[in-house]
Amino acid sequence: MKVTVLGNSGPYCLEGGACSSYLVQSGQTSILNDCGPGSIANLRTIMDPIDLDAICISHFHYDHISDLLGLSYYFQSKNKKMLLYVPNNPRNILELFLDNEAFDVYTISDCKLTHIKDMTVTFCEMTHPIKSYATKFRDDTHNFVYTGDTNYNERIESFAENCDLLIVDGGNTPPHLSPEDCNNIEIEAYPKKMLISHLNPEFNNKKLFSQPLAILLKTYELD
């Protein structure tokens, strides 16, 4: 399994940056997790979006979904109907995708498990102003966990326990995780590797966090 960081900023990015998005690949399977502004241009340097097997969205805040609306035009031009896994609210945003011919929409729920070709994907509800889910991706040998946006809660630790790679929300101000929260998660979940993402451009994140930051367009191979 490998994970490529297509966007690591939030709630907005600086010049040349992109907001939350991760390409998860295993065998012949490619899944996009979140689709923030700037991320699809980065995805296209790696693969044609038409070759994705599915897209999973953690929550409906715009810095996690904005590129998805533009991408729908591309899918429609290629007569592609993309599998899309999304929360069931806010309803007005969900309906944008339910009414869009580019997507075959499935709503996600707490502890829901689904199989997408070579991977098993599981969702765990987090703590955020709107419904938001952490996501776990498994293949035969490795697992990757992405928290999505969340305040601190103990479910993160149990959901991510001993995973090969954990990418966490390092937004630093509520409703996001603080450096202290991230330290506690690392101690309790004990991932093999942990990265801080959703980096707010207003902060000096290298000084704030003791863990390495998710590097834009870097591919992390899971050992």
Q: Parse the chain into domains and list their residue ranges.
A: 2-221
**Mean pLDDT within 205-213:** 97
Averaged pLDDT of the chain: 97
Taking the C-alpha atoms of residue 190 and residue 78, their distance in angstroms, rounded to an integer, is: 43
CA angle 158–162–165, rounded 5-degree value: 105
Beta bridge partners of 124: 134
Query: Is residue 87 predicted with pLDDT exceeding 90?
Result: yes
Share of the chain above pLDDT 70, in %: 100
Bridge-based pairing state of the strands 133-138 and 113-116: unpaired
At the second CATH level, the architecture of 2-221 is 4-Layer Sandwich (3.60)
Of 21, 23, 27, 28, nearest to 7 (Cα)? 21
* pLDDT, position 80: 95
Q: For 13-38, how does the pLDDT look when each residue is reduced to its tens digit (9 = 90+)?
A: 999 999 999 999 999 999 999 999 99
Q: Is the pTM of this model over 0.85?
A: yes
Tokens of 151: 């305040």
Cβ–Cβ under 8 Å, residues 43 and 32: yes
Query: Residue 223 — pLDDT band, cuts 50, 70, 90?
Result: confident
